[in-house]
Amino acid sequence: MSNPGYTDITAQTVPFPNVTRSNELYRRAGELIPGWTQLISRRADQFANGVSPTYAQWAKGARFIDVDENEYVDWVNAVGAVILGHADDVVDTAVKAQIDRGSIYTLNSPLEIELAEELCATIPSAEMVRYTKGGGEACAVAARIARGATGRDKILICGYHGWHDWYQAANFGVDPESGEYPFAGIEPIGVPRALAGTVIPFTYGNLNMLAARLDEHQGEVAAIMMEPARSQLPPPGYLEGVQALARKHGVVLIFDEVSCGWRQSIGGIQEAVGVTPDMTVLAKAMSNGYPMGAVVGSRAVMEPAARMFISSSYWSDNIGLIAALTTIRELKRRDATTHFRAIGEKLRAALDQALVAAGLEGRCTGLFSNPGVSLALPTGVDPRKVSTLFIQEMARRRIHTYMGFRATLAHGDREIEQTAEAAAAAFAVIKHGLEHDALDRLLVVDLKKEPFRRLVR
């Protein structure tokens, strides 16, 4: 790995990729599409706005090509939705063959049963299965089933669970002046105020707070819905404690594994830590980029769903079903967990080495499925300046990433080396910026917007 040294930093010898067409398309999007994009995480202001690519035209394996013909190593991977690698040959061949047999039937497809059997054999909490297309939708279905099965209305939440009214109502419990909305600049506008108080957040890791919330709303809580992990494994005993409280209060325990599922362990965080919830929400990576989501759970909790109105035309289209079935089988066949561990550990070691080479204090930490760089910054330094500068300098070197990294099985040594080399240069720029109070001068873009807070407080 080459250390660029300060000469490179001050002279900034590496030119930025030309992203003129991306920027022009984004300007047009602003006129035609309120909010520019369909997914907040795809907005330009989530990256180095004006320097990072915004529109792509091709993606394969661990890489994509933007509309200006620049090639990047991709560590975002459709915000985790791509797990085997972009345009995976096995999944795509299965999908294309299915298209020839019909993408959707008038009748039901036997694939529905086949995928349900595969999920029940894979996810510890799965005895019965319902499908959706997306993660937020699956969370809404899980909330409906839990409310219907218990006859109670309130839901305690910890994490991000999508855009639907039932969940966004949690924002009514937050003082608008506090800046505690999940996403800066987005308020619960359009969410019925009548839902205020129906969804109540609790802080991850704090069992006393959860117990107090359950006591306070005794007999009214249908479910605890939570992300069982995000960037670290849960503290020992924590999920067991949550499960014990849920049982004590007769509350349905739902793990939202939309983001943490599949990579750390194919059976999810629940399999990795050995705590089985009553219900699980799955989506994103389960189908390697084809729209698919699922709610799985115990027979006791899921069976009442037969009497509830939960129905939609595209939930069982053949494309999502075959993509999910093939992806799950390929994850097993390719021994995904072992590979993700190897990729994650190599990346962590390479980034740690890059930090040392740059003389910057920090570590690459977190789950092997989602490692992230955390820097020890001097007091008074705005971390947003540093993360924006990192993204800017990585984009300059054709690496598309945040400070956190999510691999696919297509990421190999070449991508890790290229990333570590770019990171060493980016870290050296940051070090220079910190030492010379020059972060503002080195930044050529506006500060990136914060990602939405996940209400994990």
Ligand X SMILES: Cc1ncc(COP(=O)(O)O)c(C=O)c1O
Binding site for ligand X (CB under 6 A): 134-136, 139, 159-162, 227, 256, 258-259, 283
Least distance between ligand X and beta carbon 74 (Å): 17
Strand order in the sheet with 154-158: 128-132, 293-297, 279-282, 252-256, 221-226, 154-158, 199-201
Least distance between ligand X and beta carbon 227 (Å): 5
Least distance between ligand X and beta carbon 256 (Å): 4
Which CB sits closer to ligand X, 246 or 254?
254
DSSP string, 358-403: HT--EEEES-TTS-EEEE-PPTT--HHHHHHHHHHHHHHTTEE--S
What count of residues does the chain have?
Answer: 457
Among 9, 32, 28, 31, which residue's Cα sits nearest to residue 20?
A: 28
Give the number of other Cβ atoms within 10 Å of residue 427's Cβ.
Answer: 25
Which CB sits closer to ligand X, 63 or 230?
230
Least distance between ligand X and beta carbon 43 (Å): 14
Determine the residue with CB nearest ligand X: 135
Per the CB < 8 A criterion, the answer to whether 40 and 46 are in contact is yes
Least distance between ligand X and beta carbon 20 (Å): 30
Per the CB < 8 A criterion, the answer to whether 44 and 54 are in contact is yes
Which CB sits closer to ligand X, 161 or 449?
161
Cα distance between residue 333 and residue 58, in whole Å:
26
Tokens of 386: 């540093």
- Any idea which residue has 């890790």 for tokens? 416
- Cross-strand bridge partners of residue 132: 293
Which CB sits closer to ligand X, 283 or 386?
283
Least distance between ligand X and beta carbon 75 (Å): 16
Give the number of other Cβ atoms within 10 Å of residue 431's Cβ.
Answer: 18
Least distance between ligand X and beta carbon 34 (Å): 18
DSSP string, 157-189: EES---SSHHHHGGGGGS-GGGT-SSBTTB--T
Sign of CA dihedral 171, 176, 178, 182: positive
452 burial via Cβ count (<10 Å: 0-12, 13-18, 19+): middle
Cα distance between residue 416 and residue 207, in whole Å:
38
Which CB sits closer to ligand X, 35 or 110?
35
Which CB sits closer to ligand X, 259 or 265?
259
Least distance between ligand X and beta carbon 139 (Å): 5
Least distance between ligand X and beta carbon 29 (Å): 19
C-alpha dist (Å) from residue 38 to 32, 187, 453: 12, 17, 18
Least distance between ligand X and beta carbon 8 (Å): 36
Q: Which helix (H) or strand (E) holds 433?
A: helix 413-435
Which CB sits closer to ligand X, 295 or 409?
295
Which CB sits closer to ligand X, 135 or 289?
135
- Any idea which residue has 């005794």 for tokens? 218
Least distance between ligand X and beta carbon 115 (Å): 18
Per the CB < 8 A criterion, the answer to whether 425 and 4 are in contact is yes
